[in-house]
Amino acid sequence: MDVSTLDEASSAESAVDIGKVMPIAARNGCGRSGGGGKASCGSQAGQGDLPTEIWEKVKNHPCYSEAAHHHYARMHVAVAPACNIQCNYCNRKYDCANESRPGVVSEKLTPEQAAKKVLAVASTIPQMTVLGIAGPGDPLANPKRTFKTFELVARSAPDIKLCMSTNGLLLPDHIDTIANFKIDHVTITINMVDPEIGAKIYPWIFYNHKRYTGVEAAKILNDRQLQGLEMLTERGILCKINSVMIPGINDQHLVKVNKAVKSRGAFLHNIMPLISAPEHGTVFGLSGQREPTAQELKALQDACAGEMNLMRHCRQCRADAIGLLGEDRSAEFTTEKVMAMDVEYDLQMRKAYQAKVEEERLARLAGKQEELVELATNMSDINLMVAVATKGAGVINEHFGHAKEFQVYELSTTGAKFVGHRRVDHYCQGGYGEEERLATIIRAIKDCHAVFVAKIGGCPKSNLLKAGIEPVDRYAHEFIEKSAIAWFKSYLEKVQSGEIQHTERGEAAIRQAALISAA
Amino acid sequence: MPFKIIASQCTSCSACELECPNVAISEKGGTFVIDPKKCTECVGHFDEPQCVAVCPVDNTCVVDTSLPRYQARA
Q: Quick check: A86 and B19 CB within 8 A?
A: no
CA-based angle A279:A282:A285, to the nearest 5? 60
Percent of chain A with pLDDT over 90: 39
CATH: 3.20.20.70, 3.40.640.10, 3.90.79.10, 3.40.50.300. Which one for A3-340?
Answer: 3.20.20.70
- Give the integer Cα–Cα distance in Å for A315 and A343: 29
- Range with the poorest average pLDDT among A92-106, A377-391, A457-471: A92-106
Q: What is the pLDDT of residue A106?
A: 66
Closest by Cβ to B46, choosing from A82, A84, A209: A209
pLDDT above 50 for A169: yes
Contact B53 A81 (CB under 8 A): no
Please indicate if any CB of chain A lies within 8 Å of the CB of B6. no
Confidence of residue A51 (pLDDT cuts 50, 70, 90): confident
pLDDT at A65: 78
pLDDT band at A148 (very low <50, low <70, confident <90, very high): very high
* Amino acid identity for residue A423 in this structure: R
Residue A508 φ/ψ region, left for φ over 0, alpha for ψ in the -120 to 50 degree band, beta for the rest:
beta
Q: Percentage of chain A surpassing pLDDT 70?
A: 83
Stronger pLDDT, A299 or A21, i.e. the higher one: A299
| Residue A95 confidence (pLDDT) | 54
Residue A175 banded pLDDT, cuts 50, 70, 90: very high
Contact criterion met (CB < 8 Å) for B47 and A210? yes
What is the residue-wise DSSP string for A130-192? EEEE--BS-GGGSHHHHHHHHHHHHHH-TTSEEEEEE-STTHHHHHHHHHHTT--EEEEE---
Most confident by average pLDDT, A38-42, A44-48, A389-393: A389-393
Residues of B in contact with A137 (CB under 8 A): 13, 15
pTM here?
Answer: 0.79
Please give the Cα distance from A465 to A454 (Å, whole number): 17
pLDDT, tens digit (0-9, with 9 covering 90-100), for A327-353: 778 888 888 888 888 888 888 888 888
Rg for chain A, CA atoms, rounded: 22
Specify the pLDDT at position A104.
60
Could you tell me if A82 lies within 8 Å of chain B, comparing CB atoms? yes
To the nearest whole Å, the CA of B69 is away from the closest chain A CA by 21
Query: Is the Cα dihedral A37, A43, A47, A51 positive or negative?
Result: positive
Among the partner-chain residues A82, A86, A210, the one whose CB lies closest to the CB of B18 is A82
Do the domains A3-340 and A371-518 sit in the same CATH topology, yes or no? no
Contacts of A84 in chain B (CB under 8 A): 15, 54
pLDDT at A10 over 70: no
Chain segment A213-264, per-residue pLDDT in tens: 999 999 999 999 999 999 999 999 999 999 999 999 999 999 999 999 999 9
Q: Which of A108, A141, A209 sits opposite B15 (nearest CB)?
A: A141
Tell me the nearest-neighbour CA distance from B64 into chain A, angstroms.
21
Write down the pLDDT at residue B5.
Answer: 95
In sequence order, what E strands does A337-462 have? 384-388, 405-412, 415-423, 450-452
The residue with greater pLDDT, A218 or A516, is: A218
Q: Is A323 on the interface with B (CB under 8 A)?
A: no
Domain-by-domain residue ranges, chain A?
3-340, 371-518
Q: What dotted CATH number matches A371-518?
A: 3.30.420.130
Give the per-residue pLDDT at A103: 58
Distance in angstroms between the alpha carbons of the first and the last residue of chain B:
11
CA quadruple A88, A94, A99, A103: dihedral sign: positive
Contacts of A286 in chain B (CB under 8 A): none
Provide the ipTM. Answer: 0.92
Q: What is the mean pLDDT of residues A390-412?
A: 88
What pLDDT digit, counting tens, does each position of A304-332 carry?
887 678 887 777 777 778 777 777 788 88
Q: Rounded mean pLDDT of A42-63?
A: 71
* Bridge partners of residue A111, in order along the sequence: none
More confident residue, A97 or A368: A368
Q: At what angle do helices A143-156 and A171-180 cross, to 10 degrees?
A: 10
- Using CA atoms, how far apart are residues A248 and A262, in angstroms rounded to an integer? 23
A128: part of which helix (H) or strand (E)? strand A128-133
| Chain B contact probe: residue of A209, A210, A282, A283 with most B CBs at under 10 A | A209
List own/partner pairs for A408-411 with CB under 8 A and 24 or more apart: A408/A445, A408/A448, A409/A385, A409/A480, A409/A481, A409/A484, A410/A30, A410/A31, A410/A383, A410/A384, A410/A385, A411/A31, A411/A383, A411/A384, A411/A385, A411/A386, A411/A484, A411/A485, A411/A488
* A-B contacts (CB, under 8 Å): 46
The alpha-carbon gap from B11 to the nearest alpha carbon of chain A, in Å, equals 5
Give the pLDDT of residue A11. Answer: 38
- The pLDDT of residue A287 is 93
pLDDT of A1:
39
- Cross-chain CB nearest to A83 (options B12, B13, B46): B13
pLDDT at A509: 64
Least confident window among A19-28, A176-185, A372-381, A383-392: A19-28
Pick from A42-51, A274-283, B57-66: least confident: A42-51
| Spatial CA neighbour of A72 closest among A355, A280, A384 | A355
Per-residue pLDDT, B62: 92
Lowest model confidence (mean pLDDT) among A28-42, A141-155, A317-331: A28-42
Q: Is residue A464 very low, low, confident or very high in pLDDT (cuts 50, 70, 90)?
A: very high
The Cα of A260 is separated from the nearest Cα of chain B by a number of Å equal to 29
Whether A81 contacts chain B with CB within 8 A = yes
Interface touch B54/A108, C-beta < 8 Å: no
Closest CA in chain B for residue A141: B15
* d(CA A336, nearest CA chain B) in Å: 17
Contact residues for A298 (Cβ-Cβ < 8 A; gap 6+): A25, A419, A420
Please write the tens of the pLDDT for every residue from B2-55: 899 999 889 889 999 999 999 999 998 888 999 999 999 999 899 999 999 999
CA atoms of A354 and A417, how far apart (whole Å): 25
Cβ of residue B27 closer than 8 Å to a chain A Cβ: no
pLDDT at A392 > cutoff 50: yes
Confidence of residue A358 (pLDDT cuts 50, 70, 90): confident
Task: Give which of A206, A208, A286 to mutate to test B binding, by max B Cβ within 10 Å.
Answer: A206
- Per-chain mean pLDDT for chain A: 81
pLDDT of residue A518: 29
* Contact with chain A for residue B50, Cβ under 8 A: yes
Spatial distance between the Cα atoms of A453 and A223, rounded to a whole number of angstroms = 47
Residues of chain B in contact with residue A92, where contact means CB-CB under 8 angstroms, are: 11, 13, 56
Q: What DSSP designation does A292 have?
A: P
Chain A: give the shortest CA distance to residue B10, in Å. 8
As a whole number of angstroms, the distance between CA B17 and CA A170 comes to: 18
Residue A484 clears pLDDT 70, i.e. is over it: yes
Q: Give the per-residue pLDDT at A506.
A: 72
Q: What is the DSSP string of A418-438?
A: EEEEEE-PPPTTT---HHHHH
Q: Which residue has the higher pLDDT, A326 or A513?
A: A326
In angstroms, the separation between the Cα of residue B24 and the nearest Cα of chain A is 16
